[in-house]
Amino acid sequence: MAASYEAYRIFYHVATCESFTMAARILHNSQPNITRIVSQLEQELGCQLFIRSNKGITLTHEGEILFAHVQEAVQHIACAETELKNMAHLRNGQITIAASEAALRGALLPVLRDYRQDYPGVQINVRSMTSEDAIFFILHGLADLAIVTKPLHENASLSVETLATFPDVLVAPASIATKFDPTASRALEQIASWPFVAMHRKSVSYEMLCGYFAQHGLLFHPTTFVSAMSQIVPMVCSGLGAAFLPEFMAQEQLRTGEIVKIRLTDDPPAHTVCMITRANQPASAACRELMDRLRETHTDEP
C-alpha cells in the first residue's frame, strides 16, 4: 500500500529536526508513534531512511534522495495552504468582472472604491464590454462575475440577480431648445421622426428601445449607431440626434447646457442592472464579498 502524505510529512520533520523526540513535539504527537510511522514507511519503501546512533540520527543515501523530493512537496503544500488562507481572509486573490458601460458606471463603480480600500491585496480586473459579450465571458469561464443590463435571454446555466433600475432620459442637442420649449412634455409620437443616436442593433439597449416604441405602436429608426454607450453623448452634443440613456451618463453635459432633457408624457424606458454568475459554480471569497456589497448597496437604494 502506498504511504500516506502524513507519513512523508513526519519523515520530513524527523529529517529536519534530526530527532524523533523534537519532531514529535513539533507535530504534537508521541515519540513512539513517530518512530512507528517512520519504521512503517521504511518497510513500505523497502529501504532504510535513517542511521540511528547514540549521537542522534542522520539520513541514509536513500533517505537523502527521498528528502529532496519530500521537502519540495511539503513546502509547496505549505505555500498553497498559506495562499488559500490569505484568499479566505481576502489578503490576496483576484476577481475578473465583465461589465457593460451603463452597469459599470451605475452599479459597480460606486462599490469598487470602498472594496479596494478594504481589500488592497485583491486584484480586480474589470473588462468593459457589451452585455452579450459579458454573458459569453461568464458561460466560458473567462470572468467570475458579470454586471449587465436587461433584457436578457434566459439561460439555465446562469444565475441572475437584479441589483438596480436606472430610468432613461431623453436628451437632445441644445440647438433644439430654440425650436420649441424643452420644458413642455411631449408625446412619443411627436418625437418618433427625430434623428436618433443609438447603440448597435445587436445591443440590449437597442432591443429595449425597439420594445418601448413598439408598445406605443411606433417604430424606432435611429439614424446614427455607435458601438459604445460612452459615444452617445458626444454624438448628441455634435447635433447628430437625440438619444435615450441613463441620466448619470450625461450629467456634466446637462449641467453645462450642451444638451437638454426632453420631457415625455409617458415614462421613458429603464435600464435594469443584473449581477450574473455561472449557476452551481462556487465563487471565491473575494468574489462573494463583492457580490454581498453590491446587494447591500443597491438594496438600500430608494
Average pLDDT over residues 241-262: 93
Tell me if 223 sits within 8 A of 199, measured CB to CB. no
pLDDT at 197: 97
Answer positive or negative: Cα dihedral of 53, 57, 58, 60. Answer: positive
Average pLDDT over residues 208-225: 95
Confidence of residue 1 (pLDDT cuts 50, 70, 90): very low
Tell me if 271 sits within 8 A of 148, measured CB to CB. no
**What residues does CATH 1.10.10.10 cover in the chain?**
5-88
Q: For domain 166-271, is the CATH number 3.40.190.10?
A: yes
Looking at 3.40.50.300, 3.40.1350.10, 1.10.10.10, 3.40.50.2000, the CATH number of the domain 5-88 comes to 1.10.10.10
Q: What is the rounded distance in angstroms from the CA atom of residue 108 to the CA atom of residue 226?
A: 23
Tell me if 56 sits within 8 A of 21, measured CB to CB. no
pLDDT at 299: 65
Provide the 10 A C-beta neighbour count for residue 161: 13
What percent of the chain shows pLDDT beyond 90? 56
More confident call, 87 vs 203 = 203
pLDDT at 40: 92
111-151 pLDDT per residue, tens: 999 998 888 888 899 999 888 889 899 998 899 999 998 76
**What residues does CATH 3.40.190.10 cover in the chain?**
94-163+272-299, 166-271
Residue 75 has pLDDT above 90, yes or no: no
Cell output for 227: 458601438
Q: What DSSP line would sit under the chain, residue for residue?
A: -PPPHHHHHHHHHHHHHT-HHHHHHHTT--HHHHHHHHHHHHHHHTS--EEEETTEEEE-HHHHHHHHHHHHHHHHHHHHHHHHHHHHTTSS-EEEEEE-HHHIIIIIHHHHHHHHHH-TTSEEEEEE--HHHHHHHHHTTS-SEEEEES-----TTEEEEEEEEEEEEEEEEGGGGGTS-TTS-B-HHHHTTS-BEEE-TTSHHHHHHHHHHHHTT-----SEEESSGGGHHHHHHTTS-BEEEEGGGSHHHHHHTSEEEEPBSSPPPEEEEEEEEETT-PPPHHHHHHHHHHHHHHHS--
The model's pTM: 0.67
pLDDT at 65: 92
Average pLDDT across the chain, whole number: 88
CATH topology of domain 94-163+272-299: D-Maltodextrin-Binding Protein; domain 2 (3.40.190)
Residue 25 has pLDDT above 60, yes or no: yes
Average pLDDT over residues 252-280: 91
Q: What is the rounded distance in angstroms from the CA atom of residue 173 to the CA atom of residue 151?
A: 28
Average pLDDT over residues 225-249: 94
Confidence of residue 236 (pLDDT cuts 50, 70, 90): very high
pLDDT at 219: 95
Average pLDDT over residues 32-53: 92
More confident call, 242 vs 56 = 242
